[in-house]
Structures are given as structure tokens and as C-alpha cells.
Amino acid sequence: MKPEKPGTGSPELDALLGGGLERRVITQIYGEPASGKSTLCLMAAVECLKAGKSVVFIDTEGFSVDRFSQIAGEQAEELAEHLYLFEPVDFEQQGLMIAESEGLLRAGREYPVDLIVMDSATALYRTEFEAGKEAVRKLSHYMVKLLGLAKKYDVPVLITNQIYMDIDRSRVMGLGGTALAHISKAIVRLEKTDSVRRAVLQKHRWRPEGLSFEFVLTEDGIKGV
């Protein structure tokens, strides 16, 4: 069993999650566009890379080299050598790349993979809406595969999720329905008001729901306010 929970790069988010990203489970962050989801993913990746580990980063929305460089700072080029980036262009390729990432987890390396990030889990899922239940089945299958990798290789998985308006409940929800919500053992909801964001703990195995902190986006990540 590997020691400690990997940090997220944000002391406030680490505290919200009870010490960092829990191994062997999926942690989900969801919220509206520009709420800070991708920034938090990049911060967690950089924190892991700075600890001398590698990161599998599956980006379905277009990886921002500039934002990575801002957050990583002067070490950006060095750290990028151990960032294994996958950029699927459709939902089927997303599944294939999840499967391909196991080879990186399995291989004995000087810089072992210690974090899987998927930003976002549901961006390409939106294009499959017309497929109805089949799209939900595929998404569930992909998430089960990610969870299997987390358990098998004792690593945390961090995913982001997009939102939609649930008309019946008159509230914003994460995409993927109950299946994605159920498989995620920790869920953080991001809320945006002008320049200030709030991270709210919506689900956790042992932390009280409703805990939160406010933050603003900065050049090198986020800053609590």
C-alpha cells in the first residue's frame, strides 16, 4: 500500500477533501464553464510531477500548454517529460485511451504514475446524447475501467464533469446521471459569482457535506479568499 494522499496543489482543496486525493477512488469536480475545473486538474498534476511521479492526463477539451506552463513555472519543461498526455477526439477514442493508459501504470519506471486525470469525463459524451441509453452505458463502462485502474494500481483518479439544468428539480446537475455520481466517492461542486468561485463538498465517504471555501483564479493556479 502506497503512503499518503497525493496533494492537489491547493491547501484549501486538500483540507476540503480530508488531506488530498484519496487513492483507489474517483474524485469528481464539476461546475459551469470557467469555474476553475481545468485549473484544479493542472494544479494536481503539477503537484504530483513535482513529487517525482508521473501523471496520465486524458484531456477531451484541448490541453492548454500555456496554462500548464503558468502553473508549473520555471520547471514546466522538465515536469512535462513525465506528463503522459492523451487527447481523444471522440467518445470511442476516449475509451481506447483509458485502456491504453494501463500500459503506463503497469510499466516499472523511475517516475511511476501516481495520478490519473480526466478533463473532462463528459465533454465527448455530450456528442453521444442521441444514442440515449447506449451513451450512458459507454460512459459507465469507461468510469468502471478508470475505477478498476485506480484500485489495481493504488492511485487516485481525478475527473471533471460538465453540467446541465435539471428542469424537473430546477437545479444544476452534473452530466452522466446517477451512474457517474455513484461511482465518484468524492464530489466537489464549483460555483461561480463574478470573479469569486466557491468549492463545495457535495459528497464524501467520511467528511461532512456542505463544507466549502472560496477562491479566485490566479496566474499560477488558485488562491483562497
Q: Which domain holds residue 16?
A: 11-224
CATH number of the domain bearing residue 104: 3.40.50.300
Q: Specify the pLDDT at position 1.
A: 54
Q: How much is the mean pLDDT over the chain? A: 90
**Is 6 domain-assigned?**
no
For residue range 108-128, list pLDDT tens digits in order: 678 999 999 999 888 777 555
For residue range 1-56, list pLDDT tens digits in order: 566 899 999 999 999 999 999 999 999 999 999 999 999 999 999 999 999 999 99
Cβ contact 5:21 at 8 Å: yes
* 35: exposed, middle or buried (Cβ count in 10 Å: 0-12, 13-18, 19+): buried
* 127: exposed, middle or buried (Cβ count in 10 Å: 0-12, 13-18, 19+): exposed
**Is 3 domain-assigned?**
no
Q: How far apart are alpha carbons 223 and 22 in whole angstroms?
A: 22
Number of domains observed in the structure of the chain? 1
pTM for the full predicted model: 0.93
pLDDT greater than 90 at residue 97? yes
Which grid coordinates belong to 61?
A: 477539451
Which grid coordinates belong to 192?
A: 461561480
**Is 1 domain-assigned?**
no
Q: Specify the pLDDT at position 109.
A: 72
Q: How far is CA 129 from CA 93, 132, 138, 160, in A?
A: 17, 6, 11, 18
**Is 157 domain-assigned?**
yes
Q: How far apart are alpha carbons 17 and 3 in whole angstroms?
A: 16
pLDDT greater than 70 at residue 61? yes
Q: How far apart are alpha carbons 198 and 211 in whole angstroms?
A: 10
**Is 31 domain-assigned?**
yes
